[in-house]
Every structure is written in structure tokens, then in C-alpha cells.
Amino acid sequence: MHRRLIAPGALVAASLLLAIPASAASHSPGAPGIGDPYYPYYGNGGYDVSHYDLRLQYQPKTDELQGTATILARTTQDLSSFDLDFLLDVSEVRVNGAKAAFATAGQHELVVTPKTPLAKGTAVTVVVRYSGVPSAKSAYGFTTWHRTPDGAVAADEPEAAWWWFPSNDHPRDKATYDVSVAVPDGTQAISNGTLQSSVSKLGWTRYNWRQNKPQATYLTTLALGRFDITTGTSDGGVPVVNAYSKDLGDNDGAARASVERTGEIVDWLSGYFGPYPFGSAGGYVPNTTTGYALETQTRVYYSPKQFAGGSNTSVVVHELAHQWYGDDVSLEDWKDIWINEGFARYAQWLWSEHEGEGTTRELADYVYASHPAGDAFWTVAPGDPGADNQFDIAVYDRGALAIQALRDEIGDDAFFAVLKGWPKEHAYGNASVADFRKYAERVSGKPLAALFDTWLFQPSKPAAGTGRSLARAAAPAVRPKSWKRIEATNAVHGH
């Protein structure tokens, strides 16, 4: 995934809001951010969402979206007001049935003031009625609502929800979803999870999707357009639903030849990561012009550009690996991105070995040898890369190299036990890089602080002789066959 920069200056002024003393229960506003060091205003403080019910209607011709979001949450502090992250035009907000006051603030805050303050530990139902043209809205100068010739797509990282539903927009607050969307007959609406039903009436078709496992807001996706939908079941029993724009042109065959292998790849990954964590799998390929792919939960987003050079199962492996590493177990803060991207990249290395196009060892040696010590590649520390470098190529390649170093250090038995045990250890939850290190130490019985520091946190090339994997690092850089395909996953991100 790619990333754009948020001007740090904008954050300083807004942080003064946090300094207002909450001296009385009558004045105890929820914080405008959940506390992420990279993105201080992403997510919000004071409550925890358990479920989003989104009932929407979309007109592709005009990009007009209207909807009602019903949000079930529980307060984690006394709240005189609280924020949602949202950009569309709100007409009404109700809190526990009563009309609430609301106002916009900052870049993407909707501040809701209930008629009476909410006590800590209260169950809250928030209803937000809204409408708008998502493509006309921007925050920090960008939009992540991508229009297509026949509709639109919401799929981006680390933010995508602001353009289509109000939320507590941070992976730390995962929730279940019902997404119900009415579109003109002939248009399809694709979202996460399982299609419960689709009903046509008076020229409109309503698609009802359900995600019954916890899901991060950025992994919640919506695609509207003319799609061909395929269904099946993997040998391992995982239902698969894929969707292809009817206008993929020359990329249609290569897209299908890649994404139709989802069931096979899910089963193959289960051998390394344990049982598939969700009730369905799949992907969709809309006719977008954006270049990346994204691990949207159970229904991966693929740009058609990922298949412009022919079929590409490597990107399918990457995004499906995220279903365990990123979606099932989500990062605690955005600085923990290595747990997502390092392991999704390493899964591509395992697939390369499986396909006979280069072993993980050869790929690790190639990454190490092909970047000289002075290369900027080594200045990005995958364990805490900074918001600017969150999706830098080093997070992926250096990140996977660190995983090979871990494997060399603890041996295959412990390594594969860690790989499979981690998703179970934190199923449907959140965890940090520090949590991962402690887990690997527990499973392997080896202290790993120095190894993690060298490979993940130092802004420099680990010296030859540091760790067993580097005993071989003097080997010349031989490019494995799979290399171009693996890197193509990132090349279209604009790094």
C-alpha cells in the first residue's frame, strides 16, 4: 500500500484541544484521536464500537451517496461529547434515541454532543443520517474515494471510511458490520463477508452484506459498478466470492487467472498460518486507475494494473496472507506495520519457493546483497519506519529479510510454530511488534531483543557476521526468478 503525507503543522494546533481540563463530568469530551503516534487524529477517544449497521443508497451517475449509520458502542469514560471521523453532510444525529447536537471540527471530525452526558460504561446507540458526493470531499488535500466509469470504490490505507460512513477510524477499534446498499438495477454492490441477499424493487437492487468477525475500519470496503460475480468453495471448505468489473478490457483474462486461484492459495496459506479466520474469502477487480492492491477483509481489492503484465498469483498470496497477518491480528499502532507487510512479503517468498522460482534463502540473500551499506534502503527501520515511510519498500523487503533472520536464529521448528501460533494467540485482536518479539521468545526459548534491534530498528545495514543468516551474505547477488513479480506488487504504488 501507498501513503501520502499529512502536514505535521496541522496537528500541533489541533492538539491544543487536548489541553482543555476535564474538571467535571459535565465537561468530559472524548479525545479527537485514539492516541496513535503517527496519526494523532485518527480514531477517537472515549468509546469502543462493537457493530456498524450501514444502510446506503448510491447513484453512480452523480456519485450521490445517502445513508443511515447505526453504531453500537460502549463508553470507556464519562462523555459530554465524542467524535466520529467523517466527511459527508450530516442531517441528523441521535444518541440513544434522542436528537443530539453536532458540529464539524478539524480535518475530519464530527463532534457529537448528546442531550445528556454519558456515564462511563454505558451502552450507546448512535444513529447518523447523511448524504453527499464523496468524490467532492477531501481531507488533508486528498480523497480516497475512487470513482470509476460505472461507479466508485472505497479501498485505501490507512484511511478510507471518512468518505462513506462515520466511524472510530483506527484498527484498534474493530467491529462487526452489516452493509446494505441499494444501487440502480444492473449495478452491483460488493462489500466484505457474506452476501446475505439481494432484492430488486422499483428499479433498484439492494445488496445485503454481513461481516460477523471483528474488522478494522480501513479493511471495510465498498465497490459499486457493473461486476461479474463468481462463487465457489475451496478444498478446505472456505466459500469464495470474487467479482470482476465487466470493463477490464485486456486485463480481464490475467485478472481472472490470478484471483480465481484464491481458494487454492487460502488453503495453501492455512498450512503455514493455521485455519482461515473468516467465513468467506475472495477478491474484486474494479476498473480503477489506482495501482495498488489492498487486503480488505475477506474481499481483497486488486487494481487491474496488478495484472497488466500477465497473471500474478504473488500479489494474491500477499493480500491473502494479510487475512491472518493484518486482518485477523491487526496492528496496535500504525508504527507496527511490519507485522502486516513483513509477513505478507515473506508469504510471497514462501510461494516463490513453492513455485520453484527462488527459495526464501535466495530471496533473503538477494535483498541483503543488492543493497550496499550506503543505500537509503537501510535507513528505513521496518520496526518503526515513521508515517512518511510506512509503506516504503524497505518495510516489505527489509521486513521480510528480518523474518528470515529470525528463522535462522530460532530454527525451522520454532519458526513455523511461531508463524502458525501468532494468529491464534491474538485472534481477532490487536498486537504490537514488541508483543511479537515476546511471543517468539516464549515459543523459541531464546532471547531475541538484540536480533530484533539489529534487523528491525537500526537505520543501517546489519554488519556481515551479525546472525547466522549473514554467514552467507558474502554470496553475490543472484536475482531469483520470482523477483520481478514480487516487486511488481509494490512498483505501482509509486515508491
Stretch that binds Zn ion, among 81-89, 268-276, 334-342, 413-421 (CB under 5 A): 334-342
Which own/partner contact pairs does 461-464 have at CB distance under 8 Å and 24+ positions apart?
Answer: 461/371, 461/372, 461/373, 461/375, 461/378, 462/405
Q: Would you count residue 54 as binding Zn ion (CB under 5 A)?
A: no
Q: How far is the CB of 402 from Zn ion (least distance, A)?
A: 15
Q: How far is the CB of 320 from Zn ion (least distance, A)?
A: 10
User: Of 341 and 397, which CB lies nearer to Zn ion in the complex structure?
Assistant: 341
Segment 421-480, which members bind Zn ion (CB under 5 A)? none
Stretch that binds Zn ion, among 42-50, 159-167, 182-190, 336-344 (CB under 5 A): 336-344
User: Of 57 and 262, which CB lies nearer to Zn ion in the complex structure?
Assistant: 262
Q: Is 200 helix (H, G, I), strand (E, B) or coil?
A: strand
| Residue labelled with grid coordinates 448528546 | 114
CB-closest chain residue to Zn ion: 344
Stretch that binds Zn ion, among 17-25, 283-291, 333-341, 451-459 (CB under 5 A): 333-341
Q: How far is the CB of 490 from Zn ion (least distance, A)?
A: 9
- Which string of DSSP letters, residue by residue, matches 397-423? HHHHHHHHHHHHHHHHHHHHHHHHHHH
Question: Residue 465 phi/psi, 5° resolution?
Answer: 95, -5
User: Of 317 and 364, which CB lies nearer to Zn ion in the complex structure?
Assistant: 317
- Tell me the residue length of the chain: 495
- Which string of DSSP letters, residue by residue, matches 435-479? HHHHHHHHHH-S--HHHHIIIII-SSPPPTTSSGGGGGTTS----
Q: How far is the CB of 432 from Zn ion (least distance, A)?
A: 18
Q: Would you count residue 347 as binding Zn ion (CB under 5 A)?
A: no
Stretch that binds Zn ion, among 72-80, 202-210, 264-272, 335-343 (CB under 5 A): 335-343
Answer for the pair 472, 433: CB distance below 8 angstroms, yes or no: no
Q: How big is the site for Zn ion, counted in residues (CB under 5 A)?
A: 2
User: Of 344 and 414, which CB lies nearer to Zn ion in the complex structure?
Assistant: 344
| 242: its cell numbers | 470474487
Q: Would you count residue 124 as binding Zn ion (CB under 5 A)?
A: no
Stretch that binds Zn ion, among 103-111, 242-250, 343-351, 362-370 (CB under 5 A): 343-351
Answer for the pair 299, 282: CB distance below 8 angstroms, yes or no: yes
Q: Would you count residue 344 as binding Zn ion (CB under 5 A)?
A: yes
User: Of 183 and 402, which CB lies nearer to Zn ion in the complex structure?
Assistant: 402
Stretch that binds Zn ion, among 195-203, 211-219, 272-280, 339-347 (CB under 5 A): 339-347
Round to whole Å and give the CA distance between 206 and 148.
Answer: 20
Stretch that binds Zn ion, among 248-256, 296-304, 344-352, 401-409 (CB under 5 A): 344-352
Pick from 98, 164, 179, 171: which is nearest to 132 by CA?
A: 164
The sign one gets for the Cα dihedral 486, 488, 494, 495 is positive
Q: How far is the CB of 216 from Zn ion (least distance, A)?
A: 14
Start-to-end CA distance of the chain, whole Å, equals 10
Cα angle 111, 115, 117 (rounded to 5 degrees) comes to 80
Q: How far is the CB of 485 from Zn ion (least distance, A)?
A: 15
Q: Would you count residue 331 as binding Zn ion (CB under 5 A)?
A: no
User: Of 47 and 307, which CB lies nearer to Zn ion in the complex structure?
Assistant: 307
158: preceding bond cis by omega (within 30 degrees) = yes
| Residue labelled with grid coordinates 440502480 | 184
Amino acid (1-letter code) at residue 74: R
User: Of 49 and 344, which CB lies nearer to Zn ion in the complex structure?
Assistant: 344
User: Of 331 and 344, which CB lies nearer to Zn ion in the complex structure?
Assistant: 344
Residues 6+ apart with CB under 8 A from 337: 331, 382, 385, 390, 391, 395
User: Of 344 and 405, which CB lies nearer to Zn ion in the complex structure?
Assistant: 344
Q: Would you count residue 175 as binding Zn ion (CB under 5 A)?
A: no
Answer for the pair 364, 415: CB distance below 8 angstroms, yes or no: no
Q: State the binding string over 242-281 for Zn ion (x if CB under 5 A, else -).
A: ----------------------------------------
User: Of 190 and 395, which CB lies nearer to Zn ion in the complex structure?
Assistant: 395
Task: Enumerate binding residues for Zn ion (CB under 5 A).
Answer: 341, 344
